[in-house]
Amino acid sequence: MFQFLQFLVVAAISYAAFGAGVWALIDVSRRSNDAFVSASKQSKTLWVVILVVATALLFISLPYPFGGGSGPLGIVGLAAAVAVIVYHVGVKPALGPHRRGPSGGGRSDRNTGGW
């Protein structure tokens, strides 16, 4: 009974870490390189590489049905989870509001006419 509960906790943490890695990859790919430069947070290319490697390692460390199995509590999975957490907590807030691509095609605060 206790082993099954322990497996569920590790599986939940593993899948949450992997989901956060995928979410970070999607977020970093939608931001412009200028946002990283203006926030002094390395380059977009470096963060894409870090997050691709981290997400791949988190996938490999998923429990039995999908990955190899040690969970995020293994040292490699833990290091990958830390990289994802650093992006979400340190880099993403510094980049400011969401902007799409190099043209900044996101929503604008200025009034462009209309009614």
Residues 46-91: tens digit of each pLDDT? 999 999 999 999 988 888 776 666 655 578 888 999 999 999 999 9
Give the type of residue at 70: S
pLDDT of residue 96: 79
Longest dimension (CA), the chain: 64
Helix, strand, coil percentages for the chain (3-state, nearest 5): 65, 0, 35
Q: Residue 3: which pLDDT band, with cuts at 50, 70 and 90?
A: confident
Locate tokens 């009974």: which residue?
1
Q: pLDDT digit string (tens) for 12-24?
A: 998 999 999 999 9
- Residue-wise burial string across 41-69, b where 16 or more C-beta atoms lie within 10 A, e elsewhere: beebeebeebbeebbebbbbbbbeeebee
Give the type of residue at 5: L
C-alpha closest to that of 24 among 72, 100, 88, 97: 88
Give the type of residue at 18: F
